[in-house]
Chains A and B, each alone.
Chain A
Amino acid sequence: MKMICINCPKGCELDVEQAADGTVTVTGHTCPRGEAYGRSELVNPTRMVTGLVRVAGMRKPLPVKTRTAVPKGKIDAVLFAMHQATVQLPIRIGDVIIPNVAETGVDLVATANM
């Protein structure tokens, strides 16, 4: 399977194949992160989700992210949870806004001081 690595601006073209016994081989990468990406993209594709959470009493929203990548299939559920939330200030970078967001095992954290 051909794919483009999303780790850096280079955008290496990867070729990722899974043999009958389950072993995955990645070619075309130029760094270890690329190989890991190829493997994960085939078996369990994941993405960081960044977004916005409402702040009580303010128009300006708080930017947030999942602390690590979450399965692609969970993005909608993460966004839903994000849009349901309202936070109270003050908030510092790294504060947990929703622990274990959408049952992903990953925390949603603030990415700005407000």
Chain B
Amino acid sequence: MKKDAIVVGAGVVGCAIARELTRYNLNVAVLEAGSDVAEGASKANSAIVHAGFDAKPGSNKAKFNVLGNRMFEDVCRELRVPFRRNGSLVLAFGADDEAALSDLKARGEANGVPTEIISQDELRRREPNVSPEATAALWAPTGGICCPYELTFRYAENAAANGAEFFFDAKVVKVERVDGEWRVSCADGRVFASRAVVNAAGIHSDEINNLVSDIRYSIRARRGEYLMLDRDEDGVFSATMFQCPSKMGKGILVSPTVDGTVIVGPTAEDIDDKEDKATTYDGLEKVKAGARRTYPGLPLGKVIAEFSGLRAHETTVGDFILGEAPDAPNFFNAVGVESPGLTSAPAIGVWMAETVAKTLGVSRKNPSLVSKDVSWWPKTREMKPAELAELVERDPSFGRVVCRCEEVTEGEIRAAIRARVGARTLDGIKRRTRSGMGRCQGGFCTPRLIEILGAELGLPPEAFLLSRKTAPKSLRKAVGGDRGVENGETLDVLVVGAGPAGLAAACAAKEAGAEEVLVVERDDAPGGILQQCIHNGFGLHRFKEELTGPEYAQRYVDMAENLGIPVVCGTMVLEIRPSEVQGEPISVTVMSPRGGLKTYRTRSVVLAMGCRERPRGALMTPGTRPAGVYTAGTVQRLVNMDGIMPGKRVVILGSGDIGLIMARRLTFSGAKVLACVEIMKKSSGLMRNVVQCLNDYDIPLLLSHTVTDVEGRDHVTGVKVSKVDDNLKPIPGTEVHYDCDTLVLSCGLIPENELTKKAGVEMDPKTRGPKVDAKMATSVPGIFAGGNVVRVYDLVDWVSRDSEIAGRSAAEYAKGVSK
């Protein structure tokens, strides 16, 4: 998967760079070692937008601080992130400090930052809770506060909406220059090729640089410990209250946050372990003592959390190191971005993207850029009652409060999981919604959160209790990104359906040399109908052993994963539009709850939608239309996947294989199967299934019989079964009544071909699938088909075999199609 630019690190700097890069016509990917964005310093810092008066004039810190500060209104409006320009005050305690204030003011002037020294009286008038020991203060009206992880997440969402792809749990271990491009390898074996690499790896940015450049950097982790106070303290200070800075940093501050809490800290301590985010007794004591200097009334009973963060302090240069490494072409650094990194991030993003684009010679802008955040969801806590009432009426999940402390609703949590760069961990939900961030710190909501995570992501809830921040392994796949979408690159093969046919076709296409293969699946998981076929009898030919359906499906799911083929689930293909010009790509329009409507361009398509069951209507069974009449496949789904038994006394109409299999399954599950009724003179299912599903359990197979009446007003209470003559007409006087609560229909399968027909493919009236040649090519150039969508097969082994032919043919065809 070749990229134009790979950003290493999904902190606020990396995500800002990625988002700004998507303004250009570039294929962007972000590799992050953690399971989420903002896992490093971006999740644990003072959340301050610094005015910029204290950075050394002329330094990168000063330049980007001031530029970044000015951008915050616009960026936060576009991305819908809360931001407040509350101003900041640096307190002086006595004459020495007052002299320092004058120095700061002078530096501010050099940096172009307006400040003003105010008297003790004025200070106390503005901030009545400040210590009487404070003798004067430096007022900087452009200081502000922001939510750093929300900003990071929204940058990432917007980047993903514009096509950037995010790979989590992707720890970069090797960066090499091969044939004029960069090859980036991850610890888990994933390898990415890219024209440019941007190093925004925060505390590990020195290590990434040192992999490629002889100009070495060294980052020391500088730990800062914090306390967070309950919302009760909201309003205790209006400005951010600093003390005079030292060479270790800006000292202990007390500041309101945009969420209504009060943040206190940080300490500054250089440590050796870049992962050690523990808080310490001594550290927290220092925070308390330092904070009491500013705020003597600091109520320790209001502390709801303590945490620490690590600043990426570069020890050789001591400034932000930004730009192309002199000895590594197209390798760009953002090294040593510590405070004021959050403030600088918007400006670093813009500058870096410009620099990368210019170096790569790309000036064309992304024609379909969306600058606004498109996946924003309402925060019910902040809504007016009338608005909220309306929202709840539309979507009741916004009326179910999950986190009572922060009043976060189920709707918000589900939206946070469904976002492009969605939450996949408890911490991910917490930072996107504040659920679990309030005074009980997740005591009440955690059980509900894991349940929702499990339901949304298709895993058992307890999988999310193993780690707060590391996502379960099965969720480690690329998120965001829209390869093949309008402005993106053209796919080689797009496969519709991730059942055994689609996955076999995709694997074969990839192995035959197709580079960009994508599988689109409407269900929430790959595997198709085999997931519910829990009986054995699959794979004797293909794998030379007897497997159950889920086992057979898993073999192909694993194969696709090992070949790096993305499978997009929960996505429905609405239309396949062949190009009007021969040799031009095909357009495929899809819809999903996450991505809305979008259109892929692809050189070839493999249809693998499978088949569906003939419904009751197709059989023209007389009688009432009560509940309790199901097709065999529906019963299979209910029993095997959903754990629901539809009834206790069952009659099966038709002797298709699924009906026979379900006769045995229902018997195993405690139901009484009274009879299997078949209108023809012999079973339509395989003899082996008659033997092992009916005969083994003494279930009568009534040949030349059919159901002539269905009884029951609300629910089935019984059926009448009659003998039929040679013309399949019921013979009067032969009816037998069965008391039953369930009628299962097993009358065969029909290829699922709505899409095929809409695409203008010629159909075969006999198979009810598309006409195909020996290469599984349909009548439309570039469209191939495999599996039950072509004709209904007896054996999945042959579905896989023929779909592999379709996949190979599609890969071959794609080679002859232009971009």
Contact = CB atoms under 8 A, between A and B. Distances in A.
A105 interface: no
Given A9-B794, A51-B534, A111-B551, A57 B460 contact: yes
Interface stretch (B147-155, B251-259, B478-486, B687-695): B687-695
B802 to A, nearest CB: 16
B569 to A, nearest CB: 15
A111 B794 CA distance: 22
Contacts of A111: 534, 547-548, 550-551
Contacts, number: 83
B174 to A, nearest CB: 30
Contact of A63 (B474, B540, B548, B669): B548
Closest 6 CB pairs of A and B: A11-B687, A63-B534, A6-B688, A112-B550, A89-B460, A111-B548
Given A11-B688, A11-B691, 6 more contacts: A4-B687, A6-B689, A48-B536, A93-B550, A93-B551, A112-B531
B696 to A, nearest CB: 7
B554 interface: yes
Interface of B: 460-463, 474, 531, 534-536, 540, 546-548, 550-551, 554, 639-644, 668-669, 686-692, 696, 794-795
Contacts of B689: 6
Contacts of B548: 50, 63, 65, 111
30 contacts: A4-B688, A5-B688, A6-B691, A7-B540, A7-B688, A8-B688, A9-B794, A11-B686, A47-B692, A50-B534, A50-B536, A50-B548, A52-B534, A52-B640, A52-B669, A57-B461, A59-B643, A60-B643, A61-B640, A65-B534, A72-B696, A89-B460, A89-B462, A93-B550, A112-B531, A112-B534, A112-B554, A113-B474, A113-B554, A114-B460
Interface in A8-60: 8-9, 11, 47-48, 50-52, 54-55, 57-60
Interface in A56-99: 57-61, 63, 65, 72, 79, 89-90, 93
* Max chain A Cβ within 10 angstroms of own Cβ: one of B474, B531, B639, B688: B688
B643 A93 contact: no
A98 B436 CA distance: 39
A contact residues, range: 20 to 34
A60 B547 CA distance: 21
**For chain A, what secondary structure do more than half of its interface residues adopt (helix, strand, loop), or is it mixed?**
loop
B460 A47 contact: no
Given A51-B534, A112-B554, A4 B643 contact: no
Contacts of A54: 643
A90 B688 CA distance: 34
Interface of A: 3-9, 11, 47-48, 50-52, 54-55, 57-61, 63, 65, 72, 79, 89-90, 93, 111-114
B554 A47 contact: no
A59 B794 CA distance: 31
Contacts of A113: 474, 554
Nearest to A78: B668
A61 B688 CA distance: 27
Contacts of B692: 6, 47
A66 B17 CA distance: 54
Contacts of A65: 534, 536, 548
Contact of A48 (B461, B540, B546, B686): B546
Contacts of B688: 4-9, 11
B694 to A, nearest CB: 12
A90 B463 contact: yes
A69 B403 CA distance: 51
A82 to B, nearest CB: 8
Contacts of A55: 460
A59 B536 CA distance: 23
Contacts of A90: 460, 463
